[in-house]
Amino acid sequence: MSQSEKLWQAVVQCDGTYDRCFYYAVKTTKIFCRPSCRSKTPKEENVAYFFRIEDALRSNYRPCKRCRPDLFQANYEPTQEAVGQVQQLLESKYDQSWTLEKLSNHVGISACHLQRLFKNKTGLSPRQYLNRIRIQRAKRLLLNGKMNNVEICYAVGFREPNQFYAAFRKETGSSPLNFKRSQ
């Protein structure tokens, strides 16, 4: 078996033992990947092989967003990075309006894929995660006592008081007023 046949078999089989040994690039998409990448198998005639990342970049190929050959580490899991980016974004900018589409554009993966990954990693959808953060912040503001419920609703990012009350009750099991009285 020739070297190019071995390389091609590694690509077809998504063989991770060849990671860091070589990279393959798809001429039609101008993207290069690790051999273990789970992307769709390209046509063999559209594949070029590189033994160094620099060579692929110099040939005007971009790193794959799925397998991230440019960031590859021994235990690197690109999906965990995307979930972490979304978590960090929601925790720091919880008061802004977020849709699944906006979040997926921010991390560079499809909305459906992000929803599935996020739920697998956290046990919550991005919306549930965001609501949990908002309610935690709302509870602190309620205990502070300087703002009324409607002001808190808008301060933590809800656009309507009804959404705030429903999310608060779902998360805490009580209304904001009852929560404040019980503390």
Could you give the angle at the alpha carbon of 120 between the alpha carbons of 118 and 124, nearest 5°?
60
**CA 170 – CA 153 distance, rounded (Å):** 15
Catalytic residue among 33, 37, 67, 153: 33
| Three-class SS state of 33 | strand
Q: Is 33 marked active-site?
A: yes
Give the Cα-Cα-Cα angle 172, 175, 176 (nearest 5 degrees): 90
DSSP letter (8 states) at residue 16:
G
Query: Which residue numbers are catalytic?
Result: 33
